[in-house]
A and B are shown apart, each in its own frame.
Chain A
């Protein structure tokens, strides 16, 4: 249940640091600035005290705060194990590790996989160690469903492995992702309302993807739901057993379509057509009288992603609709002014720029609503570090009034303000993963009394909204007997007594209620159970409240009595709902998050053609001719659902976690050539613990191509590094031995093209402290004893002679890294990334070298359009002192038109600018070639080395006229290039251009061409 395509580079960066320690500390010591990279930070904000609970089939990892949800999860896992044991006809012969987090924000810190986990990831199964990792995040029903989903993955993976081993097939063969996710969805429960939403939309908007083209939607939400629909189709048409047959017959062919043909006994295209027909037969009748939102409602936004609207009425009566906005870039909160006819009256303005700074690190786009008080204060939530915060923003003054965070609460959702701005209600998720309603008094200062917990139970209470009089909250919750099946109803919470009462009742999903300005109606979104058990489209509804209801008129601030924190258990049973429900819309797909725009109009998020847009409808007229009017329903006779918890026997409670290393990767290789009598081989082994917090890397490499009677030991390179990632401050250490022939282009004393023999033994220490998601400090220190033998120049710049240079090099580097760049398929597309490093390297033994290093690498990406951007790169490097190492440029990666790493200097600056644009989005051979892009560029650099410039005479490079690499001159190139991507993974680039030197004096008439693979800078 995870799309990890968003994995960012930070972890890779850290591993890269470790790898530098392992593979090339000699280089790192010489040019420490180059050892630093970019990337954002996965931060361990919380030092979890891990425990392990052993159940019959699982090892459940949890921390004390999450014990409650871990017991719920453990019981669900054991229950579902029995079900899957039958469905897969398989008993697992090993224990499965389940790692539970209480909240999504804790889950984001997991080290079990590299990369970052976006909000939409509900859990994942990692097959290297067979780990299942899942957060609860307040919704127990969803938590349990994700457990079931991931356990289907566990069984599928193990069943497939068994089948392939039985038939002596390579076990690296996988089933298609759409099938594994589809069967996981299908065998984890009935289709939910989101499944129906996606499939209805796929049919209505005609983006349904046939079977043979499923790779086109790989990793998308549509893929999950289409895969689920296919499995349901197979089960209903061919028989449930055929699903397992598809797994059991996977050995027959690596092409899964052929497996489908064999198992279902029909041609693959026939199966696909039959599936599509089966779907259309189900959904087409539902669409006959349905309305297409884009045809029947007015857009306030039409392109990009826009959601969760809220309305601000300015003091002068003009209005703006605020919403989350993303047009393929950073997510922001935008405001769209509307005129009296509620049509857009001007361009959108950005109110809050998100995802670029600590305070606005990320929004919860699908979980948290916006709200604007009558006084013009915007309330919204962002992730800030390890927890969420609520921002209160004065829209009139365009300034932040407050930023509220609460120690006891990890995640916050959907804040709502009373009209006078004093009271703030919201959903909070505590350290234990329970979602409840909270009330905050902005006038109470920072004392404990300022925050009060309104509900205190395991139910998922969301999207509160203040009544206009401030006395009552309405919210959506699963606190009924139907809640176990995912149903949600609307409830009111009387702030005076704490009593909770139904507004709606039934097995439907009622979401996102909003009071009308006069307090007589509630607008909300609802997906209703139909007679066949499926959900209807998620439509807009209005609850017309009982006019007989006693509605206090006094303002909240004056009438608020002392509040009782939890509902009175002796209070009378809630009254039955007193409302009539009018269905305003009958959409083809779905509507979300209605907000009143005046007394009679609504703005809402429409989902159509797999896009989210904000639109407007006239609620009043629709209510008058409602699609459907029903009573609010009767409260369930049975008690709210309860979740079963795993009851560990006495003495078998969770035990403290003890770290044990397990093998992650073991790879080796060996190469030999008889003609040159050369042999080389190496191996890499990596270990980590089950939580991924501790890692050990061991690398060995050797070559016998040394000559001179040297032994195998003389060519042996060995490195061992341990990295600890379990705390906010990461650290690592290791030892290394580097040995072999070496042509060191960074050594000013080493003549060109004549290798020397070098060996170095030392230790390295690494530390990294993240300041925020975007910024960190990296520290590296190392000391190595080195010995280099060969033709060396004297340090005074004199003659070259055969000599041995012994050093004891101590190198220290500190680097400040900043990265908020957005990445696309081809590389960064927007934002800034930069690093500034300083270092000092000295020979503590004979002072053969002693120099300072300074480096600044800054890259800026300006987005001109959805696929067009300008990338600018500036680089300054200087190594100053005795035997200061040289910095290197050249090649397609940096200074194009100049040979790879041939442009050298102890000091240099470099700049590159590139305009990047699409050429073909679907070129021939798509998706093998996943697009074709173009670029025009200009590169320039200047390099110099005090006293050593004569070193750079290079007979291999006469193209620039005098056989020198133009040290002391400004050089560069201009040109254009094409880029394509193989399978969306490997970027290939080819550039053509002309070189120039100082003052754009062209040195040659022929253009150069240069091929390279790798992402854009």
Chain B
């Protein structure tokens, strides 16, 4: 029993995580802290809340880090691997953790007292989960979309795959009531979160492994074969497509959209920015190594993490490199930022926080 207890750990913060935050730190950046998470990361970004940074690891843990000083506030074990995005309740009390192992699923966990709220063992959930209202939506590796009651974990609805299609891309909330799925057969579907009913479905015929991006008018889907597709958010109609120019089609990163511009990286090291409405290419730049991590718009800068271990800020208008920092290893996970914080996940297992220089100096 002692061994069992010694081998377990939990998150007992005593307080909620706080609401999720998103924002744009301005000005020059400085490294604020760096923390060894003791486990590598999947392609999803960390979550930033009012007081903490939450990140899942391939060691099967969720690590909660104090965003002020980088101190580890809690570590919870959730299985063999947490690959996908972790979701939070609106009040930051409960985290919904996707478990990627063979008999995985989703676990709801109260971070205040370290108690498991419920556990759904419906299958490997690599892509991640999203919470919309009272429903937690998950996409499983074997191609099922599931809506779970956020309070009990009961399956409210579930779709059965009609082929060997799989979900690798995390589901995305589209407004307060709909959730977007994209599978590796290239089928993109918008469903009602509460019922699972299909609003529209569209086939782009190439596999989607990365999380789509959404703005007010369109959803943007990047594929593993160099294709970026913009779909009408309301109807699913294809608005435009752009194909990579390379002979060997790159796997594209998850796209990032802001202020009428959509950016996408690729395994060929190319980052391209298109006009979101016209699909006109604004600029492109090429790095020496892969750009598989989703880039991140931060005001007048586009932040890019590369496989040769760099975090780079590009001028949003021209693509010119304006700032960079060397990291320990490859950047494979999406970047995320709040008003005063940029979080970068790097190999082998490190969480790096940047702050505007003036804040770091305080």
Contacts of A166 in B (CB 8 A): 39-41, 58, 348
Q: Mark A61-97, 1 if CB is under 8 A from B, else 0.
A: 0000000000000000000001101110111010000
B355 close to chain A: CB less than 8 A = no
User: Contact between B330 and A239 (Cβ–Cβ < 8 Å)?
Assistant: no
CB-contact partner of B267 in A56, A89, A168, A258, under 8 A: A89
CB-contact partner of A265 in B164, B249, B329, B330, under 8 A: B164
Contacts of B185 in A (CB 8 A): 239
Q: Mark A299-320, 1 if CB is under 8 A from B, else 0.
A: 0000000000000000000000
Contacts of B248 in A (CB 8 A): 82-83, 86-87
User: Contact between A89 and B292 (Cβ–Cβ < 8 Å)?
Assistant: yes
User: Contact between B39 and A168 (Cβ–Cβ < 8 Å)?
Assistant: yes
User: Contact between B207 and A239 (Cβ–Cβ < 8 Å)?
Assistant: yes
User: Contact between A91 and B251 (Cβ–Cβ < 8 Å)?
Assistant: no
Cα distance A89–B164 when bound, in Å?
23
Query: Which residues in chain B, 21-44, are within 8 Å of chain A measured between CB atoms?
Result: 39-41
Cα distance A239–B209 when bound, in Å?
12
Q: Mark A500-518, 1 if CB is under 8 A from B, else 0.
A: 0000000000000000000
Contacts of B161 in A (CB 8 A): 265
User: Contact between B40 and A93 (Cβ–Cβ < 8 Å)?
Assistant: no
User: Contact between A85 and B330 (Cβ–Cβ < 8 Å)?
Assistant: no
Cα distance A258–B143 when bound, in Å?
18
User: Contact between B143 and A86 (Cβ–Cβ < 8 Å)?
Assistant: no
User: Contact between A167 and B329 (Cβ–Cβ < 8 Å)?
Assistant: no
B199 close to chain A: CB less than 8 A = no
A252 close to chain B: CB less than 8 A = yes
User: Contact between B292 and A93 (Cβ–Cβ < 8 Å)?
Assistant: no
A986 close to chain B: CB less than 8 A = no
B107 close to chain A: CB less than 8 A = no
Interface residues on A, range: 20 to 34
CB-contact partner of B251 in A86, A93, A238, A262, under 8 A: A86
Cβ distance A273 to chain B, nearest Cβ, rounded Å: 15
Query: Which residues in chain A, 87-120, are within 8 Å of chain B measured between CB atoms?
Result: 87, 89-91, 93
Contacts of A265 in B (CB 8 A): 142-143, 161, 164, 166
Cβ distance A200 to chain B, nearest Cβ, rounded Å: 28
Query: Which residues in chain B, 283-324, are within 8 Å of chain A measured between CB atoms?
Result: 288-290, 292, 306-309
B110 close to chain A: CB less than 8 A = no
User: Contact between B164 and A266 (Cβ–Cβ < 8 Å)?
Assistant: yes
B250 close to chain A: CB less than 8 A = yes
Cα distance A83–B207 when bound, in Å?
18
Cβ distance A283 to chain B, nearest Cβ, rounded Å: 24
B149 close to chain A: CB less than 8 A = no
Cα distance A91–B330 when bound, in Å?
8
User: Contact between A90 and B290 (Cβ–Cβ < 8 Å)?
Assistant: yes
User: Contact between B59 and A167 (Cβ–Cβ < 8 Å)?
Assistant: yes
User: Contact between B184 and A239 (Cβ–Cβ < 8 Å)?
Assistant: yes
Cα distance A87–B290 when bound, in Å?
11
Q: Mark B48-76, 1 if CB is under 8 A from A, else 0.
A: 00000000001100000000000000000
A868 close to chain B: CB less than 8 A = no
Cα distance A251–B60 when bound, in Å?
13
- Output the nearest chain A residue to B59 by Cβ-Cβ distance: A168
User: Contact between B250 and A86 (Cβ–Cβ < 8 Å)?
Assistant: yes
- Output the nearest chain B residue to A239 by Cβ-Cβ distance: B207
User: Contact between A93 and B164 (Cβ–Cβ < 8 Å)?
Assistant: no
B224 close to chain A: CB less than 8 A = yes
Cα distance A253–B246 when bound, in Å?
35
User: Contact between A86 and B268 (Cβ–Cβ < 8 Å)?
Assistant: yes
Cβ distance A148 to chain B, nearest Cβ, rounded Å: 12
- Output the nearest chain A residue to B348 by Cβ-Cβ distance: A165
A241 close to chain B: CB less than 8 A = yes
Contacts of A89 in B (CB 8 A): 251, 267, 290, 292
B351 close to chain A: CB less than 8 A = no
Q: Mark A599-614, 1 if CB is under 8 A from B, else 0.
A: 0000000000000000
Contacts of B58 in A (CB 8 A): 166-168
- Output the nearest chain A residue to B307 by Cβ-Cβ distance: A91
Cβ distance B100 to chain A, nearest Cβ, rounded Å: 9
**Contacts A167-B59, A241-B209, A262-B141; is A85 near B268 (CB within 8 Å)?**
yes
B102 close to chain A: CB less than 8 A = yes
- Output the nearest chain B residue to A167 by Cβ-Cβ distance: B58
Contacts of A976 in B (CB 8 A): none
User: Contact between B309 and A253 (Cβ–Cβ < 8 Å)?
Assistant: no
- Output the nearest chain A residue to B289 by Cβ-Cβ distance: A91
Cβ distance A6 to chain B, nearest Cβ, rounded Å: 36
Cα distance A241–B226 when bound, in Å?
13
Cα distance A253–B124 when bound, in Å?
13
User: Contact between A241 and B141 (Cβ–Cβ < 8 Å)?
Assistant: no
- Output the nearest chain B residue to A253 by Cβ-Cβ distance: B102
Cβ distance A232 to chain B, nearest Cβ, rounded Å: 17
Cβ distance B253 to chain A, nearest Cβ, rounded Å: 10
Cα distance A262–B164 when bound, in Å?
11
Contacts of B306 in A (CB 8 A): 91
Query: Which residues in chain A, 954-969, are within 8 Å of chain B measured between CB atoms?
Result: none
Most B-side CB within 10 Å, residue of A82, A168, A238, A251:
A168
B80 close to chain A: CB less than 8 A = yes
Contacts of A253 in B (CB 8 A): 102
Contacts of A86 in B (CB 8 A): 246, 248-251, 266-268, 290
Contacts of A251 in B (CB 8 A): 81
Q: Mark B131-147, 1 if CB is under 8 A from A, else 0.
A: 00000000001110000
Cβ distance B208 to chain A, nearest Cβ, rounded Å: 10
- Output the nearest chain B residue to A252 by Cβ-Cβ distance: B102
Q: Mark A156-167, 1 if CB is under 8 A from B, else 0.
A: 000000100111
User: Contact between A93 and B268 (Cβ–Cβ < 8 Å)?
Assistant: no
Contacts of B40 in A (CB 8 A): 165-167
Q: Mark A259-292, 1 if CB is under 8 A from B, else 0.
A: 0001011100000000000000000000000000
- Output the nearest chain A residue to B306 by Cβ-Cβ distance: A91
Q: Mark B317-357, 1 if CB is under 8 A from A, else 0.
A: 00000000000011000000000000000011000000000
- Output the nearest chain B residue to A265 by Cβ-Cβ distance: B164
User: Contact between A241 and B329 (Cβ–Cβ < 8 Å)?
Assistant: no
Cα distance A703–B302 when bound, in Å?
63
User: Contact between A85 and B290 (Cβ–Cβ < 8 Å)?
Assistant: yes
Cβ distance A817 to chain B, nearest Cβ, rounded Å: 49
Q: Mark B230-267, 1 if CB is under 8 A from A, else 0.
A: 00000000000000001011110000000000000011
A selection of 24 A-B contacts at a CB cut-off of 8 Å is A56-B288, A85-B267, A85-B269, A86-B249, A86-B268, A86-B290, A91-B289, A91-B290, A91-B330, A93-B307, A93-B329, A162-B347, A166-B348, A167-B81, A168-B39, A168-B58, A240-B224, A241-B207, A252-B80, A252-B101, A258-B102, A265-B161, A265-B166, A266-B164
* Besides A93-B307, A265-B142, 16 new A-B residue pairs in contact (Cβ under 8 A), listed by A number: A85-B268, A85-B289, A86-B251, A86-B268, A86-B290, A89-B267, A90-B307, A91-B289, A166-B40, A166-B41, A167-B58, A167-B59, A167-B80, A252-B80, A252-B101, A252-B102
Residues in chain A within 8 A of chain B (CB atoms): 56, 82-83, 85-87, 89-91, 93, 162, 165-168, 238-241, 251-253, 258, 262, 264-266
